[in-house]
Structure 1
Amino acid sequence: MEKELTVEKALNNNVVIAKDHVLDEVVLIGKGIGFNRKKGDMISLFDAEKTFVLTDKKEMEQYQTLIRHQDPELIEFLNDIIFYIESQMDQPLNEHIHVALTDHLSFAIKRAGSNIQFTNPFLFEIESLYPKEFQVAREIVNKIDHKLGIRFPEGETGFIALHIHSAITDRQIRDLNRHHELIALMIELIEENLDVKINKGDVNYNRLLQHLHRGIDRVNQDNLLGKEQSLKNVLKTTYPTCYNLAWKLVKVMQKQLNKPVHESEVLYLTIHLQRLTNKM
């Protein structure tokens, strides 16, 4: 049975906001779907090539404002990119990506055209922590280059990967950035206290990075590692430098996250720090 919706607003020739009694407002995308459409017109859901729902009213308002100030062909291309991400990640994306990534990419394209570039201080960490998202982001950068003749700087791949990760985990970009800033601060403390310069290409650095990342997630989610009293006594005696440094790092985590960190995190951090010093 053909499903019909009521047109609320045609944003351009290719994008229409329509009303559905179940889904509320639906964004319909398709070639010429908005041409001569007026509020109150009936439109078939099957006329659209793609659809998505923005249930958050603020997100919907931001999306409508964004569409009005962008080239319709660019919006069509950026919508294709978002649906490509969904197909590659093989899972639904949070609706906020339609506003956040569209806004980010349209601005990044303008920046690149004006030869303005931003560096990404967390590029290595993003690639290491979110490898699948980073690979899809690389493919997107190549698509933009092929379609628009614009080659993004390497750092932009990291920013796009963050948006993808944000959409599949339903976490805000600002929270992810705080997460990476905390990891960077802890790495700086490790280098300072052990008087070393860590090689980011080293496998033990990658393991440490993954552990810090998972440790922050555990604290945020109030998950605990198992209690290991016997392991604590061995590590404290055998590796006092790494054990004490691990405690310093945990105190930084507690302060930055404003949450208690279980003592078990100290033990596993000690092991990763010792691996790192052995390698050095």
Structure 2
Amino acid sequence: MIIKKIFNNNAILAKDSDKHEFVVMGCGIAFKRNVGDKVEENLIEKTFILKQKDASEKFKLLLEDIPTEHVSLCYDIIEYAKNILGVELNDYIYVTLTDHISYALKLFDEGLNRPNALIWEIKKFYTKEFEIGLKALEFIESETDKRLPEDEAGNIALHLINAQVNNSSNKVEDITHQTKMLQDILNIVKYTYNITLDEKSLNYGRFITHLRFFFQRLNKNEKIESEDDFLLKQVQVKYKKAYECMQKIEKYLEIELSDEEQLYLTIHIQRVTQR
């Protein structure tokens, strides 16, 4: 294995005898070394093998702009997530999550915080990914002495969710089907209320995101069960029209929604139809 490109003292692009490329990291792996030199394999700590060419090229560009310690940190988070979730993640997670966490640390240094508007949904519907996000905050704090807010656990969870969804072998078919369902549901809401929805509003964006998560759960045959229908009964009375609209959507989907799913869908309908 020889050095093809040096990013910094601790990160290089290496090439093996079969001309396969790898991003390799290790303390001092490129110190006083040159392109064409043999890689000191005993110094290798982490190896990135990205099979998707586009993801690999973007990752190389990322290495030129982001501190090596951030890349190494995200590698550990992703490996931890793979072990906990027991699934393969799309190669782009190495690009998107690394870029996100590095920028989140930059904002933290500047005293800025990005609230996550979907935090309650992520906590409820993606508990495993959210727990990994919380663990990631511990990893980050351990390495940087910076404790990022809980919202960032939600953001990390979103990256993990997307990396799993985008791994689907039927991605094109799924997206096509989901897009049609999404449009049909939006039409049900529009015709029930006889209004034009404000597609630029925050509530519209939240509604769309909720539906996309909902479709993912349908694909995985996941159902959210509720231990208490008290809130749903209150919502039925308080948001009667939104609840009736939700029932139309349930009928269109030809499935029986759990109380929890009915509750959140009704609340989203109520929000997206308010001026």
Q: What is the TM-score normalised by the length of structure 1? A: 0.61
- Structure 1 runs not aligned, ≥5 long: 194-210, 224-240, 251-262
Report the counterpart of residue 265 of structure 1 in structure 2: 253
C-alpha contact 1:242 1:274 (8 A) present in aligned 2: no
Secondary structure (helix, strand or coil) at the match of 1:43 reads: coil
Q: Distance between the aligned counterparts of 2:211 and 2:29, measured in 1? A: 48
C-alpha contact 1:94 1:167 (8 A) present in aligned 2: yes
Q: Distance between the aligned counterparts of 1:23 and 1:132, measured in 2? A: 39
Once the two structures are superposed, what CA deviation does each residue of 1:53-94 show, in whole Å capped at 9, x if it has no partner?
123333233222222222333333333333333333344332
Report the counterpart of residue 36 of structure 1 in structure 2: 32
Secondary structure (helix, strand or coil) at the match of 1:38 reads: coil
Q: Percentage identity across aligned positions?
A: 32
Report the counterpart of residue 216 of structure 2 in structure 1: 217
Q: Does 1:55 align with 2:51?
A: yes
Secondary structure (helix, strand or coil) at the match of 2:2 reads: strand
Shift of 1:40: 2.2
Change (3 A) 1:275 1:157: closer
Q: Distance between the aligned counterparts of 1:275 and 1:72, measured in 2? A: 46
Shift of 1:274: 11
Shift of 1:264: 6.5
C-alpha contact 1:28 1:48 (8 A) present in aligned 2: yes
Which segment drifts farther, 122-131 or 15-24?
A: 15-24
Shift of 1:39: 2.3
- Structure 2 runs not aligned, ≥5 long: 169-174, 194-209, 222-240, 264-275
CA RMSD of aligned residues (A): 3.9
Report the counterpart of residue 245 of structure 2 in structure 1: 245
Q: Distance between the aligned counterparts of 2:243 and 2:113, measured in 1? A: 41
Aligned length: 213
Change (3 A) 1:94 1:140: same
Secondary structure (helix, strand or coil) at the match of 1:16 reads: strand
Report the counterpart of residue 20 of structure 2 in structure 1: 24
Report the AA paired with residue 142 of structure 2: H
Secondary structure (helix, strand or coil) at the match of 2:35 reads: coil
C-alpha contact 1:17 1:26 (8 A) present in aligned 2: yes
Q: Does 1:74 align with 2:70?
A: yes
Report the counterpart of residue 137 of structure 2 in structure 1: 141
Q: Does 1:100 align with 2:100?
A: no
Q: Distance between the aligned counterparts of 2:17 and 2:29, measured in 1? A: 20
Change (3 A) 1:215 1:119: closer
Q: Distance between the aligned counterparts of 2:55 and 2:127, measured in 1? A: 28
Change (3 A) 1:212 1:7: same
Which segment drifts farther, 157-166 or 61-70?
A: 61-70
- Aligned positions of 1:149-228 closer than 5 A: 149-170=145-166, 216-217=215-216
C-alpha contact 1:25 1:55 (8 A) present in aligned 2: no
Shift of 1:144: 1.8
Q: Distance between the aligned counterparts of 1:274 and 1:266, measured in 2? A: 14
